[in-house]
Structure 1
Amino acid sequence: MGSKNSTTAKRADALRSIDAIVQAAAECLGKNPEASLSEIARAAGVGRVTLYAHFDSRAEVVDAAMSRAIDRGNEALDAVDLTGDPLLALTRYVEAVWHLVDQTRALLAAAQRELSAGRIRDLHAGPAARVETLVARGRAEGAFRTDLSIAWMVNVLHTIMHSAAEEIRAGRLTPNHAAGHITATVLAAFTPPGKPVPETSGRA
């Protein structure tokens, strides 16, 4: 019996350590995408030996921190109203997702260095599925173009968001202007050929 209790206690300790490491990784990498594993272990209040007992590499730590950020982002996106006018819904989606991207810019930079493009795509599957559904509805209602594939249009949206993050890092764009720039660019890209591009001012 004692041995079972001891195993349960060890498992609980391990889960606490993992949670502390992932939280510390999100915070440290969120400030500096090049933060070392030693810094992360120190911030988590554990030794490097403990960190390596749970994670084989820096890439695994970055992956866990990015997964945590995406899970929290998905919870926030659940609250975004994607019904009604597809143009307004897309604007709301861009603003909500940009807010999340803006909060995790440095973490995303670390992920882009450590993880494969395929893995980053997998991590973004939740947000991508939401916007795929919205784009499909917008196409069916005549608001979005149908001459390009949905997959391509979703890729364009996410590429523009990541480009905005890069522009901010380079000092060529300010975070408070980014959502408006992204929305204007995406609406221009999604508008059916020959139709006037909707004005983005006042859309919220």
Structure 2
Amino acid sequence: MTASGEPRRRRRADAERSRNDILDAAVRLLRQRPDAAMEAIATEAGVTRQTVYAHFPSREALLTATVDRITEGAVAAMDAARLDEGPPTAALTRFLDVSWHAFEGNAPLFQAVPIGTAEENDQARHASVTDRLRGLIERGQRAGEFTPDSSPPWLVTITIALGHAAGEEVNSGRMTNSQARTALNTAVLRALGAREQRG
């Protein structure tokens, strides 16, 4: 079993490495060129177009996996921000900062994802984010820092909707990144009944 299993494990490891290389290349390239073709992404990854299609049967599938990769990075950054420590309002500000940083660096890529695909995958993609946000909101309510008048799920929905609205303002050119980020922080803090903390 060891003799036959070793080549199989090696092939799996090679395939996983190839997939990761493609996703990393897609993130780099699509940030600059949201309309980049599969062939360009293959070139950036140092593989053939056939290899890209072996892992991702369509450009849509690759875009979805790329956004999933970015979301995973954002979730890791949220965990590094220690949202379960310190005053809940300060932790909420850290959550918003991490979330905005993920959007700010990848806005062109997010725009490249077809609307139908984005909507279908949004709920599942948001699950790891909403779980952390809900825990933070519940902690804030217990501490008396956030309004007790609305349920945590509703406050999560409001926060995410405000984040999408802020992103759309930037994408449409109606706000700069800085303006939208400030407006988002203010709106979310008000919606949750929290006071803005400075310094």
TM over 0.5: yes
Residue 203 in 1 paired to residue 195 in 2?
no
Question: Counterpart of 1:182?
Answer: 184
The change in CA–CA distance for 1:42 and 1:93 in structure 2 (over 3 A counts) is same
The change in CA–CA distance for 1:10 and 1:140 in structure 2 (over 3 A counts) is closer
Is the CA contact (8 Å cut-off) linking 1:21 and 1:44 kept in structure 2? yes
The change in CA–CA distance for 1:2 and 1:92 in structure 2 (over 3 A counts) is closer
SS at structure 1 position matched to 2:57:
coil
Can you give the 5+ residue segments of structure 2 that lack an aligned partner in the other structure? Answer: none
**Aligned equivalents of 2:133 and 2:118: distance in 1?**
22
Question: Counterpart of 1:39?
Answer: 40
The aligned amino acid for 2:53 is Y
Question: Counterpart of 1:170?
Answer: 172
Is the CA contact (8 Å cut-off) linking 2:141 and 2:147 kept in structure 1? yes
- TM-score between both structures, scaled by the size of structure 2: 0.85
Corresponding pairs, count: 197
Question: Counterpart of 1:15?
Answer: 16
Residue 134 in 1 paired to residue 129 in 2?
no
Question: Counterpart of 2:163?
Answer: 161
Deviation at 1:174, TM superposition (A): 1.8
Question: What CA RMSD, in Å, does the superposition of the two structures yield over aligned residues?
Answer: 2.4
Deviation at 1:110, TM superposition (A): 2.7
SS at structure 1 position matched to 2:148:
coil
Deviation at 1:8, TM superposition (A): 4.7
SS at structure 1 position matched to 2:113:
helix
Q: Summarize the alignment of residues 1-204 of structure 1 with structure 2, pairs less than 5 Å apart.
A: 7-82=8-83, 83-111=85-113, 113=115, 115-191=117-193, 198=195, 200=196, 203-204=198-199
Deviation at 1:36, TM superposition (A): 2.0
* Higher mean displacement: 70-79 or 6-15: 6-15
**Aligned equivalents of 1:114 and 1:35: distance in 2?**
20
